[in-house]
Amino acid sequence: DRLKKLMANEARIAKLAELDVDAVVVLPFSREFAAQSPEDFLNACFGGGVPRHIHIGSDFHFGRKAAGNVESLRAWGAARGMEVHGHELLAEGGVPVTATRIRHLLGEGKVREADELLGRAWALSGTVRPGRGEGRDFGFATANLEVAPIMMAIGEGVYACYAVVDGQRYKAAVNVGVPATFADASTANIEVHLLDFNRDIYGDAIEVEFVEWLRPMRVFDSLDELIATVQGNIAWVRENL
């Protein structure tokens, strides 16, 4: 889904801070903002001051109907003492590495391939909320993660992950999607079972790093089959992460 974000703004800013970037400016982006002519778009972006240099990808477009490009940006910048550097996109396997490509991989559950392109594990953050309670009843309690819909780039399925709680990483088996075995379940969740963990974290924010897709969502014929399968998923995570 092109509208899904790979990183929250807060996470982007934190990553940039690790690189010793002096300042980050976040512009509120809306349909009205995007619908401006290329020149008005640039004037709105740089109204507070034009930088001496700007670095962009060679496929960069901006303004109404994506009419602005590297060359028009260069012309605009030259009149204002700004030098524009257009860079060829990094490629992997002969195909450019783009956010769209990574979104498609995540949407198909191909987290290993997505992580290779990102150079890190793709992660999702959210707040732990009370859930339905079946997991605890069956012996594997889960933290139910509330995540903004715009951040849900990952496809349905069961994944091997790491969960970060208060700076500590734990192995985790994670279910993404509607628990299809239960007839009254209709809302997609992210259910996180943290291995060797027994704390009340309701209301806490945790981060989940996706490492490996394990299996698709499915309807089980019995609760015994469901429990055995989940126990097998947990065992795989324990032995392989």
In-domain check, residue 221: yes
Give catalytic status of residue 108 as yes or no. Answer: no
| Predicted local distance difference test score (pLDDT) of residue 219 | 85
Find the farthest-apart pair of alpha carbons in the chain and give their distance in angstroms, rounded. 71
CA angle (20, 21, 25) in 5-degree steps: 150
In-domain check, residue 141: yes
In-domain check, residue 26: no
DSSP 8-state code for residue 191: E
Q: Is 60 exceeded by the pLDDT of residue 184?
A: no
Choose the catalytic residue: 32, 108, 116, 191.
191
Q: Is 90 exceeded by the pLDDT of residue 39?
A: yes
In-domain check, residue 100: no
Measured between alpha carbons, how far is 64 from 40 in angstroms, rounded to an integer?
10
- Tell how strand 189-194 and strand 168-177 pair up: antiparallel
As separate numbers, helices (DSSP H) first and strands (DSSP E) second, the chain gives 8, 10
233 falls in which pLDDT band (50, 70, 90)? very high
CATH of the domain at 177: 2.40.30.30
In-domain check, residue 172: yes
Whether the CB-CB separation of 160 and 236 falls below 8 Å is answered with yes
Query: Range of 134's domain?
Result: 120-240
User: What is the reported pTM?
Assistant: 0.83
* Number of domains composing the chain: 1
In-domain check, residue 216: yes
In-domain check, residue 12: no
Instruction: For residue 117, give Cα distances in angstroms to 7, 23, 97, 186.
Output: 14, 26, 7, 33
